[in-house]
Structure 1
Amino acid sequence: MLNASQIKRKELLLITAVALGTLLNPLNTTMISVALARLQADFQLSFADVSWLISTYYLASAIGQPVMGKWSDLFGRKSVFMLGLLLVTLSSALAPMSPSFGWLIGFRIIQALGSSAMFPSGMAMIRSQITSNQARALGLLSIFSSTSAAFGPSLGGMLLHYGDWPLIFLCNFPFIIASFVLAWKVFPSDPKRTGSISDMDWKGVALFSVTIFMWLLFFLSFSQGVSLWKLAVSAGLSVWLYRYEMGQSRPFIDVRFLRNNKNVTFIYAQFILTNIAFYSIMFGIPSYLQRVQQMDPQKTGLVMLSIAGFSVLVTPLVGRWIDRSGSKPSLLVGTFTVCAGALLMLLIRDQSSALTISLVLCILGIANGFNNLGMQTSLYDFVKKEETGIASGLFMTSRFIGTILSSSLLATLFGKNITTPQLHSMAWTCAVIGAAMLLLTLRLPGQSKRLAKD
């Protein structure tokens, strides 16, 4: 029989194992941002071409998260978690040897699918094994995965300085090994399988995949003009997906949950907008700094550290504020700061100093800290404890939809070249997105009822 200190230590090791696994997806999404310019040169690509490396990763993640979540219920959480680590190991080992850009995209898709397995299976493991302060543990993991994305460009810049883009894949191995050893040691064995592969809503998976892909094609077509037929097909598929999933007892995307939880649905919409703005900056700025400001990858990574550093710095302060006043005040500050930070990007010129750019990015880092924690706590304010799993899964799906749209936005704005006027266009777009986020925040109830505690 374990005593209290042993139980606490085991829970800490379990959370650490899950955290090390779940950071692989957000970290790998942003580490690649500082390597885009190098990849363009190596494979002779335009920015629109190389943006497919981002889009396909998020497309695979958006599909992989709910699929792997369902598989973890059917085949066991530990098994799916370990499968995810195996796929990330395989892709990280083979990606540096890619003979062409197409092969690199393929290995990134495998990496996305593997890293997508860790979040839903890890969250489910936490919910089943940790009974006290469960919501705090779930929130901590969600915040951890979001914050790790902000450090990606800085780590990627350092790796490119001492090597080349293959190091971005090879640096995954310390995290993989540590997560694997801990998970093997502290995760309980899976119970006997209770379902089969046929229990999966495969038609829903296919419909969702095709719908997201068509919307991606529609937004990527903006650089050549609006494609009305792609818009019509995307809208038609969305309606079909909604109606089909409404009639399913075990839907792939639980649209009935969304319809019955209006505040949660608006939070998801706001989270999509948050990620469009955040990832447009996280992917757009590094390429701009290297192409226009002529910074090397290491200096680019150091400048981008402004976002990560200030995001982490304000998070504990925001947490204490939220405990006292609720989520809405922090979200009001966060969304307003997105608008302010985006407009301050208009001050950046062709020969701006690294200090000036860093100061602007500090404001955006503060906004990220407020919005990340505010969105996480706001979500759990409006969902019951038994709805935590589905709410967390749809929350991550919203994140990936936002990141897919951000890559489409960058491909449209930057196209074949990156200039300061195009950066300013991105700034205006992010300011408008920030204003929309502010309006969504204003409609939230002033003091949320913490249903998760009921």
Structure 2
Amino acid sequence: MIPRRTGTVPGGRRTGRAAPPAGFDRRLIAPMVLGSVLNPVNSSMIAVALVPIGVAFGAPPATTVWLVTALYLATAVGQPVAGRLVDMYGPRRLYLAGTALVGVAGLLGALAPSLGALIGARVLLGFGTSAAFPASMQLTRREAERTGRDRPAGVLTALAVANQTVAVVGPALGGLLIGAAGWRAVSTVNLPLSAACLVLGASRLPRERSTAGPRRPVDRPGMALFAVLLVSLMLFLMEPRPAHWYLPLLCAVAAWAFAARELRTTEPFVDLRVLGGRAPLPATYVRRLLGYTTSYAFLYGYTQWLEQGRGLSASTAGLVLLPLSASALTVSVLTGRREAVRAKLLAGAAVQIAACLALLLVGARSPVPVLLAAGAVMGVPQGLIGLANQNALYRQADPARIASAAGLLRTFMYLGALGASAAAAAFFPHRADTAGLHGLALFMLAGSVLLLVSVLPDRSLRTLTPRKA
């Protein structure tokens, strides 16, 4: 029997409660990691399911890409909303509600009778996966304050490694599931994952202390305007035609109204005054957008090309992407303990440029070793850029709004994914052929160059140091 530890209160009086651990409470790591990977596992497995789903419902790539867009659009809106609510009410309730919704969405997706119903399930899935990452960042900040040790590199590395590993293993896992049980198996994965998150979250996440003070208001108008802004922008990017002229107009009006609202209210959804006073933080968001636009364009575009342009099966295409997983994981593990934000961003951008150039040499008759090498090279920047931006945000964000800031970081990541899916739809209007892949590679190359240019003159990255909790 393990002896019960007792704590003390000021004055030396012993209490009957177990003393909290002196270091980071490792019981929190399992629910944090498992909850944070719900989104990448769903966003990566769908990459190899797009073609089988298109065949099942008779839909072209330009239509099935909405399975990607729906998830990321919902998550781009849901992440900062969930983050703000986590900052206001604590991580436990939002974590449990979000992971429960993931299970519901998984069941609906597995039973979807039409492509429209499947897209609707992906929207619910996007909202459900929005809470866990902001909750994890909030818990990390709380543990730093409790222990007085502001050295979160190990915990942040665990989150980043788990997300990167799942994101790049996902296509292989999805391919195996599709080969064994069909494309619906990709949705059923969410049922055991949701159940595990609920059990771990309920048993390990700390309960919030009740307060007798007045309830803090929720900026619902700000959230609604933010949603209109994002939705109208992405709908136009998906189909940028003159007939849709009203969408950018609606986006501009919503952006103006959103800024006016957030600058005027006392409890804004996004505190633009603080954000505007922290120039390095918006730069981190932009770098997140640029880095993940290229990463997701490769994941979705290259995977579809492997199946249609190169003629591989879904399961084989997933296996071809395994070196992507291996290199990303290796780089993250080897470099995770050192923050070195600027060095990682510079190296990541340079390797990403090289990978995009190499993709221009790939063709329908390229041997499998060349295809494997292309994925391995692209995995290196995935292991560097994501972790660097995550560490940068932890240092730059206001501690009182760390969950909101983390939610926005994920929003910009998903905006990159949305931009990538829009680019894939544009370059693969009917079929993922080699000409379309090369056009997509040039698009990715432009974004990688912009990422490098954004890092070189930024001196603030040299001064990111641990701060007192």
| Structure 1 equivalent of residue 362 of structure 2 | 348
Do residues 407 (structure 1) and 407 (structure 2) align? no
Q: Which SS does the other structure have where 2:113 is aligned? A: coil
Is 1:243–2:260 an aligned residue pair? yes
Q: Could you say what secondary structure the match of 1:347 adopts? A: coil
Q: Which of 156, 159, 175 is matched with 1:157 structurally?
A: 175
User: Which residue of structure 2 lines up, in the alignment, with residue 18 of structure 1?
Assistant: 32
Match of 1:209 in 2: 227
Work out whether 1:437 is the aligned partner of 2:451. Answer: yes
Q: Which residue of 2 aligns with 1:448?
A: 462
Q: 1:295 to 1:204 in 2, by over 3 A?
A: same
Distance between the aligned counterparts of 2:419 and 2:6, measured in 1?
48
SS at match of 1:157: helix
Aligned to 1:89: 103
Shift in CA distance, 296/225, structure 1 to aligned 2, threshold 3 Å: farther
**How far 1:194 sits from its partner (Å)?**
6.7
TM-score by length of 2: 0.89
Partners of 1:145 and 1:199 in 2: CA distance: 35
Counterpart contact for 1:23–1:144, Cα < 8 Å: no
Match of residue 406 from structure 2: 392
Question: What TM-score comes out, normalization by structure 1 length?
Answer: 0.91
Residue 44 of structure 1 is matched in structure 2 by: 58
Q: Report the AA paired with residue 192 of structure 2.
A: P
1:305 Cα deviation after fit: 1.2
Separation in 2 of the partners of 1:2 and 1:33?
Answer: 51
Q: Using the alignment, how far apart are the partners of 2:432 and 2:378 within structure 1?
A: 21
1:296 is matched with which residue?
313
Find the aligned partners of 1:255 and 1:426 in 2 and give their Cα distance: 34
Instruction: Give, as a single letter, the amino acid of the residue that structure 1 aligns with 2:457.
Output: R
State yes or no: 1:375 paired with 2:389: yes
User: What SS class does the counterpart of residue 127 from structure 1 fall into?
Assistant: helix
- Residues 375-414 of structure 1 show CA distances to partners (whole Å, capped at 9, x for unaligned) of 2223334345455333322211211221121111111111
Bigger Rg, which one = 2
C-alpha distance in 2 between matches for 1:288 and 1:405: 18
Shift of 1:74: 4.9
Cα deviation per residue 1:147-186 (whole Å; 9 max; x = unaligned)?
1322221211121122211111222333323322222222
- Secondary structure of the corresponding residue to residue 99 of structure 1: coil
Counterpart of 2:198 (choices 164, 180, 197) is: 180
CA distance in 1, matches of 2:357, 2:290: 17
Specify the code of the residue in structure 1 equivalent to 2:265. Q
1:315 is aligned, of 332, 343, 355, to 332
Is 2:438 aligned against 1:420?
A: no
2:161–2:332 contact (8 Å) kept in structure 1:
no
Cα shift at 1:253? 2.2
1:297 CA drift (Å): 1.5
CA 1:370–1:2 in structure 2 vs 1: closer, same or farther (change >3 Å)? farther
CA distance in 1, matches of 2:155, 2:277: 23
Query: Structure 1 residue 232 and structure 2 residue 249: aligned?
Result: yes
Cα deviation 1:212-266 (Å, max 9, x = unaligned)? 11111221123x5695543333233323322322222222222222211111111
Quick one: which amino acid aligns to residue 115 of structure 1?
T
2:88 equivalent to 1:70: no
Contact 1:385-1:451 at 8 Å conserved across structures: no
Distance 2:406 2:155 in 1: 9
The worse-fitting range, judged by mean Cα deviation, of 192-201 and 406-415 is 192-201
2:292 maps to 275
Instruction: Give the direction of change, closer, same or farther, for the CA distance of 1:93–1:330 in structure 2 (3 Å limit).
Output: same
Residues in 2 aligned to 1:264 and 1:73: alpha-carbon distance in whole angstroms? 18
SS of residue paired to 2:321: helix
Aligned-residue offset at 1:353 = 1.6
Aligned partner of 2:26: which letter? L
Matched, 1:103 2:121: no
Q: CA distance change for structure 1 residues 162 and 196 in 2, over 3 Å: closer, same or farther?
A: farther
Kindly indicate whether the alpha-carbon contact (under 8 Å) linking 1:68 and 1:117 is maintained by their aligned counterparts in 2: yes
Quote how far apart the aligned CAs of 1:447 are.
5.5
- Structure having the higher helix fraction is 1
Aligned to 2:322: 305
Return the alpha-carbon distance in structure 2 between the equivalents of residues 18 and 84 of structure 1: 13
Tell me which residue corresponds to 1:170: 188
The DSSP-based 3-state class of the residue aligned with 2:360 is: helix
Would you say 1:331 and 2:349 are equivalent positions?
Answer: no
Check 1:316–1:138 CA distance in 2 against 1; reply closer, same or farther (3 A cut).
Answer: closer
- Change in 2 beyond 3 A, CA 1:266/1:74: closer
Change (3 A) 1:69 1:49: same
In the alignment, what sits opposite 2:67? 53
Distance 1:443 1:45, change over 3 A: same
Which digits, 9 at most, give the CA deviation of each residue in 1:268-289, with x for residues without a partner? 1111011111111111111111
RMSD: 2.5
CA distance in 2, matches of 1:197, 1:386: 17
Structure 1 unaligned residues grouped into runs of 5+: none
CA distance in 1, matches of 2:109, 2:23: 36
Determine if contact 1:10/1:186 at 8 Å carries over to the other structure: no
Asked if structure 2 preserves the Cα contact closer than 8 Å seen for 1:330 and 1:370, the reply is: yes
Residues 27 and 170 (structure 1), Cα distance of their counterparts in 2 relative to 1, 3 Å cut: same
Deviations 1:347-398 (A, max 9, x none): 1111112211111111111121121222222333434545533332221121
Partner Cα separation in structure 2 for residue 146 and residue 261 of structure 1: 27
Secondary structure of 2:363's partner? Answer: coil
**Contact 1:385–1:452 (CA<8 Å) still a contact in 2?**
no
Cα pair distance change 1:398/1:306, threshold 3 Å: same
Is the 1:78–1:187 Cα contact (8 Å) retained in structure 2? yes
2:204 & 2:346 partners in 1: Cα distance?
A: 40
My pick for the range that moved more, 260-269 or 229-238, is 229-238
